[in-house]
Chains A and B, each alone.
Chain A
Amino acid sequence: MADVLEKISAVQRISGLLDNNLSKIEEGLPAWVNQIRQPALKAFQRMGIPGFRTENYKYTDLTRLFGNENFRRAYVPDDFEVDLSEVFSCDVPEFDTHLILVVNGWYDEKSNRNTTYPDGVVVKSFRRAMIENSDLVMNYYAKLAPVNEDPLTALNTMFSQDGVFIHIPDHVHISKPLQIINILRSEDDLYVTQRNLIIAGKNSQVKLMICDHTLMPQQFINNNLTEIQLGQDAVADIYSIQNQHNKTASLSGIYVHQEQGSQLVTNAITLHGGIIRNNLKVLLDGEYASAKICGLALSDKNQHVDNYTNIEHIKPNCESNQLYKNILDDNSTGGFTGRIHVLPYAVKTAAYQRNNNVLLTNAARMNTKPQLVIDNDDVKCSHGATVGRINDEALFYLQARGINEKEARLMLMFAFAHEVLAEVKIEKLRDVIDKLVNKRLRGEVSKCHSCAMDCIR
């Protein structure tokens, strides 16, 4: 009963935040954006805070997280004196990117002002895009990510004010990768809402890397939602590195709509974070579209990492391929739910899914669940999930060749992880991630905020 009361009150409290701050939240934004807040609120109130009883949140109960927080909201951007582009200017020498800095969910105009983009590529604050590019943005906003399907999406749409907008025009191949660095930094505990939209035009190509960092030891909740539109034959590689301290809850959603012949690669590498929930929905809505979807999570202490994927095969001749792996140490817990829905018309579908997990302790726990809904006969589908330990025979084999146990274990864990990393197609980036994962497995990426920057240096 207490549980129920708590849930109701958290929903009421959050609803109240919208009501009480509505003028601040809506200020300057066009009516068509603000008009969606009330339907989002209604959807959120209907679905409630995600908990064990919420469909699709069986493995991640957020009722306690929301029940206990009364964090500050940044309805206007925090004003920091420093130009963060200087802090982050020391990049990996060979890995040159267009840097996009976001602080507490707000596109950091000051740090980003000097970046220029070739061939008509537009990168700007999502807030400005909603105002200046209304005609384009309104085609996708809250349409790729409808508010009535998921409580976190509803919540994001209620409070959305800013984030990153990227538009790659038709036929433009931007060779230098874009790198969004999401920074959480606050003197007090903070709840952040960030909203992004990426539009890749017909036959365009883009590589995007998203890095999530905490720069201060405060508690954070980050609700980050990205809508992605891939036009005909567009190619997009999206890599994310989650490296936030363990008092952070990262609740993210990515919604992708793919047109004919488009190719998507996503790879979510989770190194650190307290509670991590990644929702990924992909609509294969044009023939011969393909999606390669990968994830690797390394967790220890009391970390929780839950990946939820939902792949909708709408048109014929599409292919989706999922590979998720977790290595869980200490008391950490993990979840994977892989939903594949093949619609009646989507013949000649190929849909594959694999989730492999290694538990390093008896206390670590992993829940894995494939969910295949196949509504026609002409498909190739497979799924597989394993939860196991480090292979003792392989360990002994390495030891018998003179490699000590600790090093042998690391080699085996790294080998396990590497299958996911091998899917990173930018060689320099793969090297960087390889090193990061290696360091993380060795326990060398420290948990404090000051190290967060190490991974891009």
Chain B
Amino acid sequence: MLVIKDLYAKVEGKDILKGINLTVNAGEVHAIMGPNGSGKSTLANVLAGHSNFEVTHGSVTFNGKDIFEMSPDVRAKEGLFLSFQYPVEIPGVSMVNFLKTAVNEHRKYRNEKELSAGDFLKLMREKKAMVQIDSQLTNRSVNEGFSGGEKKKNEIFQMAMLEPKLAILDETDSGLDIDALRIVSNGVNMLKSKDNATILVTHYQRLLDYIVPDFVHVLYEGRIVKSAGKELALELEAKGYDWIKKELGE
């Protein structure tokens, strides 16, 4: 589904990603872990198409298509979803209008008929129940005045509405209390299928108690330095990242 080959990228002239290789197949859950500043969020943003990040080398294909040929909205419509680490507040843009536009843009892209207002509201009700988002939140402007936990839940709700093929969850667990973490994780697990894939970008092992990964990768100084099964996460939790650094001979 996603094939990243020798990917280099920089931000404001500084090299952050220095040769990433990663393949994600349908049905898989990948966790990308690593210390602060290792490039985890950069990778997530590069995949989604943020213009602050400049790709200097390498290739990424998504379902066989070169993603660097696609604008961020086209990537989204191809089925790539980024759950933001810091979802931005957009006063004046109502949740309903925003989601209706987004859902219908996806449908138009697939040559499907746009949803009627009634069908859209019905879909929204279903998905809200599924991810247990407070029904009041969709009456407000996008993320405006939402608490940290509400913002993250809202990301998962949007994911449920858009049903992506590949979801990249950037530090979705940060700032969540235990109840919110459970709700968010339940949402992700419920949306999981054999046809889609998930990349969890996280600093801590905690999230992986709820969403069990098939693969764990350690990102360090812009490269994936270690990949293994879910047991790697526990090892990292116990020993910290210094252990990896030592192994690398630093």
Q: Which residues of A contact B (CB under 8 A)?
A: 391-394, 396-405, 407-408, 411-412, 414-416, 418-419
Contacts and interface: CB of A to CB of B under 8 A. Distances in A.
A411 to B, nearest CB: 6
B123 interface: no
A403 B48 contact: no
A398 B49 contact: no
A162 to B, nearest CB: 41
A405 B71 contact: yes
A401 B92 contact: no
B73 interface: yes
A152 B85 CA distance: 55
Interface of B: 48-51, 71-73, 75-77, 81-82, 84, 87-88, 90-93, 97-98, 101-102, 105-106, 109, 141-142, 158, 162
Contacts of B98: 398, 401, 403, 411
Given A400-B48, A415-B93, A407 B88 contact: no
Contact of A401 (B51, B71, B76, B91): B76
B49 A402 contact: no
Contact of A415 (B71, B72, B90, B158): B90
Contacts of A407: 101, 105
Given A399-B71, A401-B98, A394 B88 contact: yes
A419 B102 contact: no
B88 A397 contact: yes
Contacts of B102: 398, 401-403
Interface pairs A-B: 4 shortest CB-CB: A415-B92, A402-B76, A399-B72, A401-B102
A402 B71 contact: no
A287 to B, nearest CB: 34
Contacts of B75: 400
A396 B51 contact: yes
B50 A396 contact: yes
A393 B72 CA distance: 12
B162 A402 contact: yes
Contacts of A402: 73, 76-77, 102, 105-106, 109, 162
Given A405-B73, A411-B101, A399 B49 contact: yes
A404 B91 CA distance: 19
Contacts of B77: 402
Contacts of A394: 88, 90
Given A396-B50, A398-B98, A411-B93, A403 B88 contact: no
Q: Which of A391, A396, A419 has most chain B Cβ within 10 Å?
A: A396
Given A402-B162, A419-B92, 7 more contacts: A397-B84, A397-B87, A398-B98, A402-B76, A405-B73, A408-B73, A415-B91
8 contacts: A397-B84, A397-B142, A400-B49, A400-B72, A400-B73, A403-B105, A411-B98, A415-B91
B88 A393 contact: yes
Contacts of A411: 93, 97-98, 101
Contacts of B72: 396, 399-400
B76 A414 contact: no
A412 B88 CA distance: 13
Contacts of B92: 414-416, 418-419
B82 A400 contact: yes
A401 B74 CA distance: 9
Given A396-B51, A411-B98, A401 B90 contact: no
B79 to A, nearest CB: 10
Contact of B90 (A397, A404, A405): A397
A105 to B, nearest CB: 38
A416 to B, nearest CB: 6
Nearest to A408: B73
Nearest to B83: A400
A391 to B, nearest CB: 7
A438 to B, nearest CB: 12
Contacts of A415: 90-93, 141
Contacts of B76: 399-402
A322 B75 CA distance: 42
B84 A401 contact: no
B109 A398 contact: no
B71 A391 contact: no
A418 to B, nearest CB: 5
A401 B162 contact: yes
A56 to B, nearest CB: 32
A399 B74 CA distance: 8
Contacts of A416: 92
B71 A398 contact: no
Contacts of B90: 391, 394, 397-398, 412, 415
Nearest to B91: A415
Q: Which of A391, A394, A397 has most chain B Cβ within 10 Å?
A: A397
Given A404-B73, A412-B93, A391 B105 contact: no
Contacts of A414: 92
A419 B93 CA distance: 10
B48 to A, nearest CB: 5
B17 to A, nearest CB: 18
Nearest to B94: A415
A404 B105 contact: yes
A220 B74 CA distance: 47
Given A396-B50, A411-B93, A415-B93, A401 B158 contact: yes
A403 B99 CA distance: 10
A403 B71 CA distance: 10
B132 to A, nearest CB: 21
A405 B106 CA distance: 14
A393 B93 CA distance: 14
A404 B51 contact: no
A411 B99 CA distance: 12
Contacts of A419: 91-92
B134 to A, nearest CB: 20
Q: Which of B88, B97, B106 has most chain A Cβ within 10 Å?
A: B88
